[in-house]
Amino acid sequence: MSRFARRSVGFTLTMLALLPMASGCTPEGSGAYKGPYEREVNLAIPAIEKSAGFPFKRMPKVETRSKDDVRGFLERKFDESTPALELAGTERAYKILGLLPDSLDLRKFMLKLLAEQVLGYYDPATKVLYVVEGADKKDGGELVQVTIAHELVHALQDQYANLDSLEKLHGDNDRQTAMQAVMEGQATYEQLASMVGGQSALNMPGSWERVRRVIRESQGTMPIFASAPLLIQETLLFPYLSGAEFVKAFKERRPGQAPYAPLPQSSEQILHPEKFLDLVDEPVRIRLPKPNTGSVVLENDLGEFETRLFLYQHLKDLGVAGQGADGWGGDRYVVVNTGGGVGLSWLSVWDTPIDAAQFRDAAERTVERRFGVAAGAGGTGTTRRFTAKGRTIELTAAMVLGKAAVLYTDVPAGTSTTLIDLSKVTLEKP
């Protein structure tokens, strides 16, 4: 889901976090840059270089764009990064899982949301940092200073890594989520560090808890964001908050290294940095066979982060959701057009049988809570079946090539629940 907002743009959530802490802490710049927003750029560059640990290879370009131009850019990039058929399939998958309301027009809503959030962005295609016209009039100009600092980090990243490569991953949502978390997380971390006098200020007791609290509180004051479904809110926040926490852990453990050589492969590694920094826990790549019936609309994955959101959406218990998603090893879902309507099969594999059982139990509770029904007749010792609101949902415990697995299937009532043959599934490491 987070791929829908996956542009290197300066959301205002990065703008509002630590302005009181930042006051008077920014060092004077060298004056090397000449152009629009000269003062802000020259203030930010030396502090960012010091915090990041590597220099700009060339001076960035900064330009101003009108709000209409920015809206046009966002619309074009959204459509380029998320083709219409992919968007329709993803929207359908999340609605089947109860993560989006059936009435939501996802494209329309996301464009409105992004227009509300964006004060500036770095475009890797043109190598230009764009600031939205009038941004320097907000909050006495402080917001534009923060925006420029954040987007300058993206410009620096682009001189050492290929930001455009993030847009070229399709059908690999979780990996793209992880990559984006590193890029936005580093931009957030270095932006804050450059404005509060260095990394030591961010390591003071209670500082990071304040960052999280203030960012969430500030986002809640923005009407479109505040009206967004939980899935959209959290996938917008994840790269900035969890990503910055990952980068913080990375810099503590691997000082002087860039956090994108190599990049994490999963949101699990972002949520649990030790699974990337210590004993690397790589996700299992699941290859699903051709469905037994109907035609494929979309194939993709959720990852640990969105699996956790699925559980929390319906249970509203962070502890249960976290425990239910912990031990995630890999997942893959397929959306299928059947003769009776659209169905979904979602296969997840887990580190241990206990992890699989905990997820299955939590997932059963989500179905019971969402539909107000208990498991009915027709299930077996390994399968739980639910029928409600014209749908049949099955949760099946299985072993797939030696891995404990759970198969979640949701199809129109009267349609075969055997969309995929588990004996034909293959597993591989990335």
Q: What is the 3-state secondary structure (H, E, C) of 229-246?
A: CHHHHHHHHHHHHHHHHH
d(CA 120, CA 133): 9
Q: Find how far residue 103's CA is from the centre of its chain.
A: 23
Nearest to 179 by CA among 9, 2, 331: 2
pLDDT, greater one: 310 or 257: 310
Beta bridge partners of 286: 427
DSSP at 103: T
The pLDDT > 90 percentage for the chain reads 67
pTM for the model: 0.91
How buried is residue 295: exposed, middle or buried, by Cβ count under 10 Å (0-12/13-18/19+)?
A: exposed
Cβ pair 352, 327 in contact under 8 A = yes
User: Looking at the predicted structure, is the pLDDT value of residue 21 above 60?
Assistant: no
User: Looking at the predicted structure, is the pLDDT value of residue 328 above 90?
Assistant: yes
Name the band, by pLDDT with cuts 50, 70 and 90, for residue 87: very high
pLDDT attached to residue 138: 65
pLDDT attached to residue 61: 93
pLDDT averaged over the chain? 87
SS3 content of the chain, % helix, strand, coil (to 5): 50, 20, 30
d(CA 420, CA 169): 25
Cβ pair 309, 99 in contact under 8 A = yes
The bridge status of strand 128-132 relative to strand 118-123 is: antiparallel
Residue pLDDT, tens place only, 161-206: 877 766 666 679 999 999 999 999 999 999 988 877 767 667 777 7
d(CA 90, CA 311): 18
User: Looking at the predicted structure, is the pLDDT value of residue 30 above 60?
Assistant: no
Give the residue carrying structure tokens 């320097």: 136
Name the band, by pLDDT with cuts 50, 70 and 90, for residue 298: very high
Domain boundaries, the chain: 2-277, 285-428
What are the distances in angstroms from CA 112 to CA 5, 78, 379?
Answer: 12, 12, 44
Nearest to 358 by CA among 404, 391, 293, 300: 404
Residues contacting residue 278 through CB under 8 Å, at least 6 positions apart? none
pLDDT, greater one: 381 or 47: 47
DSSP at 26: P
d(CA 393, CA 386): 5
User: Looking at the predicted structure, is the pLDDT value of residue 379 above 80?
Assistant: no
Q: Which of 85-99, 128-142, 382-396 has the weakest average pLDDT?
A: 128-142
Mean predicted confidence (pLDDT) in 97-125: 93
Q: Which of 180-184, 221-225, 309-313 has the weakest average pLDDT?
A: 221-225
pLDDT, greater one: 87 or 213: 87
Cβ pair 194, 51 in contact under 8 A = yes
